[in-house]
Structure 1
Amino acid sequence: MLPSMLRTGLRITSLTLCLIAIAATAQAQTRKPGLWEVTTTMTFQQPTGAGGAPRTTQVCVTQEQLDKYGAITPQSAGCHFTNVVKNLTGTTADMVCSGKMDGKGALESSWADADHTTTKVHFTGTMPLGAVEWTSTSSYVYKSPDCGSVKPVDEPAAH
């Protein structure tokens, strides 16, 4: 038979793990599929050090994408995400690209609440014209469960 203090410690540990699981499930459920408006600003460290004006678009996010990545991932041709780590308030992942641009990036996404998220990607690599390094910062605002005419983008290939 276990001593009383050990049994109490095991009960507290079990209760804590259950509460963490419940909180994680609740947080994941607040990440809503549907239509999101995204405003992205990109800054180039190489080759020019220039930045572009903010660009606003709409994206349709599926529940499958949220389940897989825990975040709204940027869509870049030839890129995929690895080492995805989801937690209660966000996601981190590595972005690996080959094709028009070769290189690696680091994605960090955080959820302020059910209707707002921010994502930052820092990328270094090469393009046909030479070395490239850029950082993009995006803010997302939830608009509707119905995407209307905006179609979901094919999710990046998993590797």
Structure 2
Amino acid sequence: MRPTRTWIAVGTVVLAGVIVAWAQGRKPGLWEMTTTMTWQQSPFLAGMTPPGGPNSPFGGGPRTTQVCLTQEIIDKYGAPVPQIRRGDCTFTNVNKTDHSMTADMVCTGMMSGKGTVQSSWDDPEHAKGSVHFTGSIQGRGGNTPVEWTSESTSVFKGSDCGDVKPIPIPADK
């Protein structure tokens, strides 16, 4: 399998899970999110450095990104559901309270498997989240098992997203 396809699939699922983990119950606008991903079972060969260098979401170090969250996404999903480019992830068993949310994530396609999503917040401007995923990635030699966990913290930066485009709302299936 081409490494680029693997990275697109893994990166999309990681981003999907992490964004879902922190978005519920927040103010709409610009959020800064710091995420650290840990592989329990990596698809990379021993000694292989994940592409993307120091800013790679797969390298294990913290990565900070900005995300624009709309009120429409908060109202419809309680969290943004990103567009999945390769494969398809759905979120089920969503349980929302005033200060937390949990959900199950099921992915099919190039990356398939199941995950759990958790998020909590004490105020509308700060949050913590986590995603744990177990599954496999399709490759030329068959399926390669994967397991990863991501932990994130997020801080509200303001109601104006500036140049950061809002997360699109996916079509209902």
> Is the TM value for this pair above 0.5?
yes
Supply the distance in 1 between the matched residues of 2:59 and 2:93 (Cα, whole angstroms): 28
* Residue in 2 that maps onto 1:84: 94
What's the CA shift for 1:146? 0.7
Match of 1:31 among 26, 33, 44: 26
User: Equivalences for 1:1-159 in 2 at 5 Å?
Assistant: 31-47=26-42, 52-71=60-79, 77=85, 78-129=88-139, 130-156=144-170
Counterpart CA distance in 2 for 1:157 and 1:67 is 15
Which of 143-152 and 62-71 deviates more? 62-71
Task: Say which one has the larger Rg.
Answer: 1
Deviates more, 1:78-87 or 1:103-112: 78-87
Contact 2:82 / 2:168 at 8 angstroms: preserved in 1? no
Residue 50 of structure 2 is matched in structure 1 by none
Which stretch shows the higher mean deviation, 57-66 or 78-87?
Answer: 78-87
Which one scores higher on RCO, CA 8 angstroms, separation ≥ 6? 2
The secondary structure found in structure 2 opposite 1:146 is coil
1:108 CA drift (Å): 0.4
Report how many aligned residue pairs link the two structures: 130
Task: For structure 1, list consecutive stretches of 5 or more residues without a partner in the other structure.
Answer: 1-29
Classify the secondary structure of the residue corresponding to 2:127. Answer: strand
Q: Percent identical across equivalent pairs?
A: 58
Do the aligned partners of residues 157 and 53 (structure 1) sit closer, same or farther apart at CA in structure 2, a change above 3 Å counting?
farther
Distance (Å, rounded) in 1 between the aligned partners of 2:133 and 2:169: 19
Deviation at 1:72, TM superposition (A): 5.3
Superposition CA RMSD, Å: 2.4
Deviations 1:60-79 (A, max 9, x none): 00112212333456775432
TM-score by length of 2: 0.66
- What secondary structure sits across from 1:151 in the alignment? coil
